[in-house]
Amino acid sequence: MANLDKIYTKGNSFRARAETRQREYRTNILKAEPGVWGHFLQDSDAYNGRNFVNQIAFQSAQYRKSKGKGIADRTFNNMLSSQAMCFNLFAPLQKDKELASRVLSNFFPDLDTVNELIIEYTPENDIFGDQSNLGGVDCDVLIEGKDSGGKLIIIVIEAKFVETEFSICGFRKPGRLSKKREVCPDDIPIYSSMNKCLYVFKKHYLYWEKSNKYNTLVIDKFPISGCPFAGPLWQLWTNHTLAHAEAAKRGAIKSYFAVCAPSLNKKLLKDGKILEQFRYFLKCPGSLVFIDLDEFIKTITLVVANQNPEQRVWIDSLAARYANI
């Protein structure tokens, strides 16, 4: 293999193994030289879409980038990009709604048909009042579907690959301390007054208003002092709330929030504890779904039993890049 000195992470962590897999794929399958690191592509290969497993995924990413917010350059050159993985997994399902229905119904049994699948979805500003050119709660995938009775279902999906943590509250990020900006204190009294949240009285964002409106949380389980969503539960909470808000706006009877990630990425999932911590606060624990990346790829392979050549390339490439790391 070429240029194995361009290794960013050494050892046997999940990230190190994932980097090794991407270097092997780049060298043996793409026959491409590395960029700044072994898991990066050179600019010319990135420009030609070689970080994507087929043209459908590449074109979907290009289209979303043309709309402005949401797509970074690393999506095209970093082979560990979760965003690139998301396009690689879901863009073919975006194009083929019948296939999407057959695949996703294995993870959402009451889903019968997929009407719409949007990758890198940005909600309207009236959802949370937080949208700007660069900021605001988005989601990796939004799905509008129907159950067997024709009633609408909304699914929001967050896709993670090698990250070791979900996004945390912006008023708790360590960088704010060094810049002497205002931060939420450890003993903020969220249990008794959610208006104390800096997102509420400083930014006037609607995260708490919407989660209360849709009655998603068991408030009595909150600590008397401190915010349960100050750390990595923040992204789970806001995306779960987004699913409910989109369901209400569209007249759906049910909504789900799902995390699609490798179960072997134990730092992200905290050995499965992170999702259980969030479920503890939910009135409907079943509205949080985990999709193991390996199981998702396996399901796609089984559903597409008689693959055409294009589907075969897609499935083989997903397995080669992301499965059983």
Round the average pLDDT of the chain to a whole number and report it.
93
Q: What is the pLDDT of residue 38?
A: 94
What is the pTM for the complete model shown? 0.94
Q: How far is CA 301 from CA 22, 60, 117, 160, 315, in A?
A: 21, 21, 20, 20, 6
DSSP-based three-state secondary structure for 15: helix
In the structure encoding, which two tokens stand for residue 272, read together? Answer: 């499965």
The HSE-up count of residue 229 (CA atoms within 13 Å, CB side) is 27
Q: Which of 277, 61, 252, 257 is nearest to 158 (CA)?
A: 257
In the structure encoding, which two tokens stand for residue 20, read together? Answer: 């090794």
Q: Are the CB atoms for 4 and 12 separated by under 8 Å? A: no
Q: What is the pLDDT of residue 271?
A: 87
Summarize pLDDT for 165-174 with one digit per residue, the tens: 999 998 886 6
In the structure encoding, which two tokens stand for residue 109, read together? Answer: 């049994």
Query: Count of CB atoms within 10 A of residue 149's CB?
Result: 8
The HSE-up count of residue 67 (CA atoms within 13 Å, CB side) is 13
The dihedrals phi and psi of 258, each to the nearest 5 degrees, come to -125, 145
With cut-offs at 50, 70 and 90, classify the pLDDT of residue 2.
Answer: very low
Summarize pLDDT for 205-227 with one digit per residue, the tens: 999 999 999 999 999 999 999 99
What sections of the chain are H helices per DSSP?
Answer: 14-24, 43-47, 55-66, 74-77, 82-95, 97-104, 174-178, 198-201, 207-213, 233-250, 266-269, 273-279, 293-303, 309-322
**Counting beta carbons within 10 angstroms of the beta carbon of residue 184, is it exposed (0 to 12), middle (13 to 18) or buried (19 or more)?**
buried
